[in-house]
């Protein structure tokens, strides 16, 4: 996709956040994903031009980090935590079930372009295991069935909302813009905490049975 | 019985706890007002006296770290908050930022004033979209309220999926716009950190602990905890327990106490092994239920307090499978800079895969330990050392189980029995 003048203006404000322009490379890569869905060659060239770097220098950074995708992912990118704790608690079963259910492998995308699947590492939500992420929003305490229902809801265009996140699931591109540091106005949506987060506090206050 | 002490978590049960209004309702931003009127060195002294130690894993005294920043050097100084939280099992900073991002921002204001920095960066891992929203909004609201922008600026920087960027020097390289690979130390960040300027890197929980210390005094803080491990901290309980979650308690509480308070290991099962502080800390068993969970107590028992990530595994869990999975994580996350870690973790995975599949031999077990020996202490950063912890500690306590895989010609465990939905027809 061609980048508009408005896009270029946004990129300029991202660069201005930092004392040194090169520091903006990561948010700019997220930004490119928010427009193109993945890190395109055009995006790399543009970042290189804006930061006065060689394209190879931008590529070297882009390929180091797993969240920058070299090829398109789905409108809803699903990550199943299969690090030890989640794996043992059912993450492995969930991952296998989703592969079968969607007919794709790890890092695959459904033919309708709606859903892609990736096994991910610990996502800092182990007290909500097994954890599934979609566009990096939390879907806590998943089962094989709830995970299948989730991806089905994505394919019919009405994805279930995250358990700890905004009122509705945003698309991959929209989430990438948030990761570029752009405010989508949804910070106040959703719960402040889930039950496990509050457990110690409730016990301290004598509010548990 | 040690009592829980909600301080950071005190108001997380209020629906709007993440807003500036809620934070101010409970006295938020009064500590920073107080601190800004104080001499910076006096703040550093209070933090030193409080006994606060870094909550990112290593437990380095926070006040002492701040004191290393050279003064009057006419250079820019930086504060960098480590919110990369990716150590397996670790899940405290993420809910903290989701429920109350303002306490971190207030901590940043105080820390910046103390170390004479005008800029703070918060480096958040990229896989937590809603946490990014909350922190971004909090920064915006703090600017609108005039709390930021008058000499202190806070910039949010979002990572992109690399565990190694939690290592402080790799984080700095990443923040400068390079591949996140660790730097040689010395020079330490306090002398040459971000952009080669004096820099303090602290964990989220460390900086978030600062406002309450300034508000209540060093004596109040060091009145909690044990002799050398002062204060209170967030313990994260996960895995095969009836009720997982966050528990804020004085340092030195034991796992037995936390389990008693929270409802214990999942009903009908028994504790098999657990990590005191994430996957990089050697595992413990039921022998260690009464180890005081402070820096000294856990070290004396042969592990590390780390991030206080208490991952609980019951008797249905195959230790070889668990260790293989952690090892695959380290192999995947190895940044590739040094050979012992890059090549070593690859070989560890091959050997463990064979062992799990029942294709290993006792000689492989010896080889595994030998490899660990060659990685431990010879790696460029602590990731390599951490990768050996689950292996060496599990062989120490569960050698028989490794052997059983060999004699059995495969894994004797049923993985379904370990799942949360076991028996639910899943
Ligand atoms: C591989 C590796 C990953 C790390 N990840 C984190 C992390 O996610 N968050 C963190 O605060 N510290 C992490 N650390 C520790 C940091 O290097 C550093 O010690 C810490 O941020 C200092 O803050 P503190 O003194 O407040 O604890 C990691 C260390 C290593 C070796
Ligand atoms: S120990 Fe591993 S992660 Fe650390 S520098 Fe070496 S290769 Fe990179
Ligand atoms: S192991 Fe899955 S979120 Fe931590």
| pLDDT tens-digit map of B385-394 | 999 999 999 9
How many angstroms separate the CA of residue A170 from the nearest CA in chain B?
10
Q: In angstroms, rounded to a whole number, what is the distance separating the alpha carbons of residues B188 and B198?
A: 9
Q: What are phi and psi of B80, to 5 degrees?
A: -125, 120
Strands A76-81 and A132-134: antiparallel
Which residues are bridge partners to B200 per DSSP? B79
The mean pLDDT value of chain B amounts to 97
Q: For residue B91, what pLDDT is reported?
A: 98
**DSSP string for B217-253:** -HHHHHTSB-SSSBSEEEEEEEESBSS-EEEEEETT-
* pLDDT digit string, tens, across residues A51-89: 999 999 999 999 999 999 999 999 999 999 999 999 999
In Å, how far are A28, B1, B81, B154, B381 from B167, measured between CA atoms?
23, 36, 12, 21, 8
Give the separation between CA B109 and CA B88, rounded to whole angstroms: 30
Interface test with B, best of A130, A182, A192 (most B CBs within 10 A): A192
What's the alpha-carbon Rg for chain A, to the nearest Å? 19
CATH topology of domain A3-62: Arc Repressor Mutant, subunit A (1.10.10)
- By the CB < 8 Å criterion, does B217 face chain A? no
Domains of chain B: 20-222 (3.40.50.11540), 232-314 (3.10.20.600), 319-408 (1.20.1440.230)
pLDDT at B1: 76
Q: In angstroms, what CA-CA distances link B12 with A190, B29, B85, B96, B302? A: 14, 17, 20, 8, 34
Q: Ligand 3, closest atom to CA A81?
A: 2
**Prediction pTM value:** 0.98
- The pLDDT of B44-48, averaged and rounded, is 98
Could B126 and A191 be called an inter-chain contact, meaning their C-beta atoms sit closer than 8 Å? no
pLDDT at B426: 37
Judge whether B225 and B250 are in contact, CB under 8 Å. Answer: yes
Q: Do B93 and A162 touch (CB under 8 A)?
A: no
pLDDT tens digits for range B268-278: 999 999 999 99
CA of B190 to the centre of ligand 1 (A): 15
Q: What are φ and ψ of residue A117, in 5° steps?
A: -135, 135
Q: Which of B56, B67, B34 is nearest to B191 (CA)?
A: B67
A95-131 residue pLDDT tens: 999 999 999 999 999 999 999 999 999 999 999 999 9
Q: What is the DSSP letter of B277?
A: S
Take residue B388 and report the two structure tokens written for it: 């050996």
Q: Please state the domain extents for chain A.
A: 3-62, 74-170
ipTM (interface pTM): 0.98
Chain A residues whose CB is inside 8 A of the B93 CB are 124
- Asked if B267 reaches chain A (Cβ–Cβ under 8 Å), the answer is no
Q: pLDDT band at residue B423, thresholds of 50, 70 and 90?
A: low
For B355-373, the pLDDT digits (tens) are 999 999 999 999 999 999 9
Task: From A53, A33, A41, A26, select the one nearest B177 (Cα to Cα).
Answer: A26
pLDDT at B241 exceeding the cut of 50: yes
Compute CA distances A97 → A88, A128, B65, whole Å. Answer: 15, 19, 48
Q: What is the sign, positive or negative, of the torsion defined by CA atoms of B250, B201, B340, A69? A: positive
Q: pLDDT digit string (tens) for B88-99? A: 999 999 999 999
> What phi, psi does B95 have (nearest 5°)?
-65, -30
Query: What distance in Å separates the CA atoms of residue A95 and residue A75, rounded to the nearest whole number?
Result: 19
Query: Is there a contact between B13 and A66 if contact means CB atoms under 8 Å apart?
Result: no
Pull the structure tokens for residue B261: 């308070």
Residue contact B239–A190, C-beta within 8 A:
no
Q: Which of B378, B270, B255, B354 is nearest to B317 (CA)?
A: B270
Which residue in B86, B178, B317 is closest to A88 by CB distance? B317
CB-nearest to A66 from B5, B162, B236 is B162
Q: B285 CB contacts (<8 Å, ≥6 apart)?
A: B271, B272, B273, B274, B397
Whose atoms come closest to the Cα of B379: which ligand?
2
Per-residue pLDDT at A208? 83
Mean pLDDT on B109-137 = 98
Give me the helices (H) in chain A, please: 5-16, 25-36, 41-51, 55-62, 84-86, 92-102, 144-155, 172-179, 195-204
| Helix (H/G/I), strand (E/B), else coil: A148 | helix
Distance, CA of B30 to CA of B17 (rounded, Å): 17
**What is the C-alpha to C-alpha distance for residues B392 and A209, in angstroms, rounded to an integer?**
41
Q: Which region holds residue B386: left if phi is over 0, alpha if psi is between -120 and 50, else beta?
A: alpha
Out of 3.40.50.300, 3.40.30.10, 3.30.413.10, 3.90.1150.10, which CATH number does the structure's domain A74-170 have?
3.40.30.10
Contacts of A24 (CB under 8 A, 6+ apart): A14, A15, A17, A18, A51, B177
Q: Is the CB of A85 under 6 A from ligand 3?
A: yes
Inter-chain CB proximity A67 and B178 less than 8 Å: no
pLDDT band at B425 (very low <50, low <70, confident <90, very high): very low
Nearest to B201 by CA among B298, B103, B58: B58
């Amino acid at each position: 996709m061609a980048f508009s003048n408005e896009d270029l203006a946004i990129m300029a404000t991202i660069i201005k956040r930092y004392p040194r322009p090169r520091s903006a490379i990561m948010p700019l890569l997220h930004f490119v994903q928010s427009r193109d869905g993945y890190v395109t060659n055009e995006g790399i060239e543009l970042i290189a031009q804006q930061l006065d770097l060689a394209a190879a220098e931008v590529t070297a950074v882009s390929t180091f980090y797993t969240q920058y995708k070299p090829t398109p992912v789905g409108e809803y990118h699903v990550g199943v935590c299969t690090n030890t704790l989640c794996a043992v608690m059912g993450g492995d079963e969930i991952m296998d079930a989703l592969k079968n259910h969607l007919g794709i492998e790890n890092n695959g995308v459904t033919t309708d372009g709606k859903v892609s699947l990736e096994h991910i590492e610990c996502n800092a939500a182990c007290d909500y295991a097994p954890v599934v992420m979609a566009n990096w929003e939390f879907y806590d305490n998943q089962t094989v069935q709830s995970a299948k229902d989730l991806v089905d809801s994505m394919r019919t265009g009405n994805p279930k909302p995250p358990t700890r996140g905004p009122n509705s699931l945003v698309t991959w591109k929209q989430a990438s813009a948030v990761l570029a540091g752009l405010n989508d106005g949804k910070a106040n949506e959703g719960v402040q905490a889930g039950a496990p987060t509050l457990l110690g506090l409730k016990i301290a206050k004598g509010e548990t049975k | 019985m040690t009592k829980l002490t909600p301080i950071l978590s005190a108001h997380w049960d209020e629906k709007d706890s993440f807003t500036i209004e809620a934070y101010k309702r409970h006295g938020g931003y009064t500590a920073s007002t107080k601190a800004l009127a104080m001499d910076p060195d006096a703040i550093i002294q209070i933090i030193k006296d409080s006994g606060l130690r870094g909550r990112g894993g290593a437990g380095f005294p926070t006040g002492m770290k701040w004191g290393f920043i050279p003064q009057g050097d006419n250079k820019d100084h930086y504060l960098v908050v480590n919110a990369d939280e990716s150590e397996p099992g670790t899940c405290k900073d993420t809910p903290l930022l989701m429920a109350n991002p303002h306490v971190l921002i207030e901590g940043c204001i105080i820390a910046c004033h103390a170390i004479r920095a005008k800029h703070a960066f918060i480096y958040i891992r990229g896989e937590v979209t809603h946490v990014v929203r909350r922190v971004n909004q909090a920064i915006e609201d703090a600017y609108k309220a005039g709390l930021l922008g008058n000499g202190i600026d806070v910039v949010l920087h979002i990572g992109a999926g690399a565990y190694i960027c939690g290592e402080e020097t790799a984080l700095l390289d990443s923040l400068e716009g390079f591949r996140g690979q660790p730097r040689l130390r010395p020079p330490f960040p306090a002398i040459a950190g971000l952009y080669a300027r004096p820099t303090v890197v602290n964990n989220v929980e460390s900086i978030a602990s600062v406002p309450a210390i300034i508000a209540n005094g060093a004596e109040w803080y060091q009145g909690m905890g044990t002799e050398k491990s002062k204060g209170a901290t967030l313990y994260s309980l996960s895995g095969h327990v009836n009720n997982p979650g966050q528990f804020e308690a004085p340092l030195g509480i034991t796992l037995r106490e936390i389990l008693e308070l929270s409802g214990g290991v999942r009903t009908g099962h028994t504790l098999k092994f657990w990590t005191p502080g994430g996957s990089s800390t050697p595992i413990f068993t039921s022998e260690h239920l009464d180890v005081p969970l402070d820096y000294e107590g856990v070290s004396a028992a042969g592990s590390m307090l780390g991030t206080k990530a208490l991952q609980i595994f019951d008797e249905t869990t195959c230790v070889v499978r668990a260790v293989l999975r952690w090892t695959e994580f380290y192999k995947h996350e190895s940044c590739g800079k040094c050979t012992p870690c890059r090549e070593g973790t690859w070989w560890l995975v091959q050997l463990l895969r064979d062992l799990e599949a029942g294709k290993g031999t006792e000689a492989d077990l010896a080889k595994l330990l030998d490899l660990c020996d060659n990685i431990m202490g010879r790696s460029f950063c602590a990731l390599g050392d951490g990768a050996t912890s689950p292996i060496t500690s599990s062989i120490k306590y569960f050698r028989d189980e490794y052997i059983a895989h060999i004699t059995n010609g495969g894994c004797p465990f049923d993985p379904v029995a370990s799942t949360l939905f076991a028996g639910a027809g899943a």
